[in-house]
Amino acid sequence: MPYPAYLFPKKKEKLGVALVGLGNYSRNLLAPALQLTRYCELKGVVTGSPEKIPRWQAKYGIKDSNVYNYENMHQMADNDEIDVVYIVLPPAMHADYGIIGANAGKHVWCEKPMDVSAAKCQMLIDACKKNKVKLAIGYRMHHEPNTQTLMKWAKTKPYGAIQDVIAEAGYYDSRTAHWKQNKALGGGSMLDMGVYPLNAIRYTTGMEPVSVSARHETNRPKVYFEVDETTIFDLKFADGTTAHGKTSLGENINNLEANCENGWYYLRPFQSYSGVRGKTSDGKALKPFEGNQQAKQMDDDALAIINGKPMLVPGEEGLKDIHIVEKIYESAASDSKWVSI
């Protein structure tokens, strides 16, 4: 005798996503990208700015019942239309609101950096495990095809053993009263942009560094008096490989290169929203991905949830970076002393 269909709930074809924080990245990148996805859709918002709500509802058809603020966000637990919360807030708020989402039974996508301390990153990981929900960190480059090629080469070494890596990411930020200049909110170049070159060094080598030396530089002390405007760091690996990283909110830089035993390759730019391209010492061209990076990232993560597969960039990956970031700050505070990781 066949069992009734209601005993086997149908797998969702699309996951409902609520954006937590409606600043520039949500407004100009994530929300438009969600219109291009196949496996997820924009269903809700969480904001502390009521004046933004009418515009978002008019543009994306978000129901009143799917609009929340930071005080009542926990009530999502009773909303089956929302499956995922995407945390798009200043870094010091990431774990706090990710935990609220996890406790409400929602999967958590957390924008980079994961948070401002390894301890808070671990708290978010633990909350997601406790509530049996998935956690992904918004490292969109892990989903980008040319970056994935470099990750493969870290294992296959087509140009011989990697000897050193250079990774630089930054831009000139003309703002003077933004959270990126606010220490309490997780500002500073290393937390905001520095996870790009740091993570790139790790995925390009395929290894974890064992020690670091770092220093900060400031050209605009009236703006960057609480946090670092520029951070420069060097990493050593157990096999002798070295890496040089630089990040800045005062300089336009965007370069990733690997120098190997029998050649070299690079991506320039390596972390832009589009146009990531590269070249190898034997003339191969790494042509830009023609799709939308954010849409691919969110579709990859949604599909992993739907199919019960591991996330491409789990919380543990974000935690590893923040652990090293803490060591970078420790070294910079001690006159660039080499610090074990």
Q: Is the pLDDT of residue 11 over 80?
A: no
pLDDT given for residue 31 in this prediction: 98
> What H or E segment, with its residue span, contains residue 134?
none
Question: Over the stretch 101-134, which tens digit does the pLDDT of each residue have?
Answer: 999 999 999 999 999 999 999 999 999 999 999 9
Q: Under a CB-based contact definition with an 8 Å cutoff, are residues 138 and 218 in contact?
A: no
| Domain locations in the chain as residue ranges | 12-140, 141-288+314-340
> What percentage of the chain exceeds 90 in pLDDT?
96
Residue 165 to residue 37: CA distance in whole angstroms = 34
CATH superfamily of 141-288+314-340: Dihydrodipicolinate Reductase; domain 2 (3.30.360.10)
Fold of 12-140: Rossmann fold (3.40.50)
What's the whole-number mean pLDDT along residues 224-237? 97
Q: Do domains 12-140 and 141-288+314-340 have the same CATH topology?
A: no
pTM comes to 0.94
Q: In what order do the strands lie in the sheet with 230-236?
A: 285-286, 278-280, 263-267, 250-260, 162-172, 242-248, 230-236, 211-217, 339-340
Residue 101 to residue 140: CA distance in whole angstroms = 21
pLDDT given for residue 12 in this prediction: 78
Q: Is the pLDDT of residue 6 over 90?
A: no
pLDDT given for residue 161 in this prediction: 97
pLDDT given for residue 261 in this prediction: 97
Conformational region of residue 148, where left means phi above 0, alpha means psi within -120 to 50, and beta covers everything else: alpha
What's the whole-number mean pLDDT along residues 277-284? 98
Read off φ and ψ for residue 204, nearest 5 degrees: -75, -35
Q: Is the pLDDT of residue 65 over 70?
A: yes
Q: Identify the band that residue 10 occupies on the pLDDT scale cut at 50, 70 and 90.
A: low
Residue 11 to residue 26: CA distance in whole angstroms = 27
173: tokens are: 């930020």
Question: Over the stretch 170-216, which tens digit does the pLDDT of each residue have?
Answer: 999 999 999 999 999 999 999 999 999 999 999 999 999 999 999 99
